[in-house]
Amino acid sequence: MAAASATAINRNQVDLSDFINWSGVECLNQNFSHTFTNALNQTCRDNDSLLLESDADEQLLIYIPFNQVVKLHSLVIKGPEEEGPRTVKLFSNKENMGFGNVNDYPPSDTIVLSPDNLTGKPEVVKYVKFQNVRSLTIFIEDNQSGTDTTKIQKIALYGTTVETTDMKGLKKIEDH
């Protein structure tokens, strides 16, 4: 279980949406009329009428790659009281996951959301498990009421970037 909800985002933490590699984001089982962009993109996610909605059942699998290594501190998931997510499993640096193999891997963290958590309160993750994150996979296992679809109005990720050396920028030193 994740630590208790934070009362506010730590002032050293930034919204990580600027560091998402948007062309690589994937969401399995999304309703194509209500896609992940509505919940994840900064310009859309504060409009409660735009949302991400599951399609065939209540589960969603969202893969979010970053364009640089980040440390994930907390996340905000906002959704309707009845159809909002309940069990959220987070996987750090796991690629090529699908519904057929998501249970083959232990999650880096599991968060069980109450209806109160779905109002936009930040949830602090197990910070030590999210120190060198190149990608994050979010598995929405079920929703609050067991209905056929899950709806998410907002997903916001907060943390910091990891300073790394750009190996392409290094030049070979010639012997003289």
The pLDDT value given to residue 126: 95
Strand partners, 83: none
Question: Which CATH number goes with the domain that contains 127?
Answer: 2.60.120.470
The verdict on residue 26 lying in a domain is: yes
- Supply the range of the domain harboring residue 18: 12-159
The pLDDT value given to residue 63: 98
The pLDDT value given to residue 47: 84
Rounded average pLDDT over 155-171: 77
166 — pLDDT class (breaks 50, 70, 90): low
172 — pLDDT class (breaks 50, 70, 90): low
Q: Structurally, how many domains does the chain consist of?
A: 1
- For residue 139 the two structure tokens come to 């598995």
- Asked if 21 contacts 67 with a C-beta cutoff of 8 angstroms, the reply is yes
Q: Which helix (H) or strand (E) holds 37?
A: helix 36-40
The verdict on residue 34 lying in a domain is: yes
The verdict on residue 17 lying in a domain is: yes
For the stretch 5-47, pLDDT in tens is: 444 566 689 999 999 999 999 999 999 999 999 999 988 888 8
**Residue 94: C-alpha distances to residues 14, 91, 107, 134 (Å):** 23, 6, 10, 9
For the stretch 40-85, pLDDT in tens is: 998 888 888 899 999 999 999 999 999 999 999 999 999 999 999 9
For the stretch 84-141, pLDDT in tens is: 999 999 999 999 999 999 999 999 999 999 999 999 999 999 999 999 999 999 999 9
User: Whole-number mean pLDDT of the chain?
Assistant: 89
The verdict on residue 165 lying in a domain is: no
164 or 61, which is more confident? 61
One-letter amino acid of 86: R
The verdict on residue 176 lying in a domain is: no
3-state DSSP assignment of residue 23: helix
The verdict on residue 172 lying in a domain is: no
The verdict on residue 90 lying in a domain is: yes
The pLDDT value given to residue 175: 58
Q: What is the DSSP secondary-structure string of 50-107?
A: --EEBSSSS-EEEEEEEEEEEEEEEEEEE--TTTSB-EEEEEES--S--TTTGGGS--
Model confidence, pTM: 0.86
The verdict on residue 102 lying in a domain is: yes
CA distance 157 to 159: 7
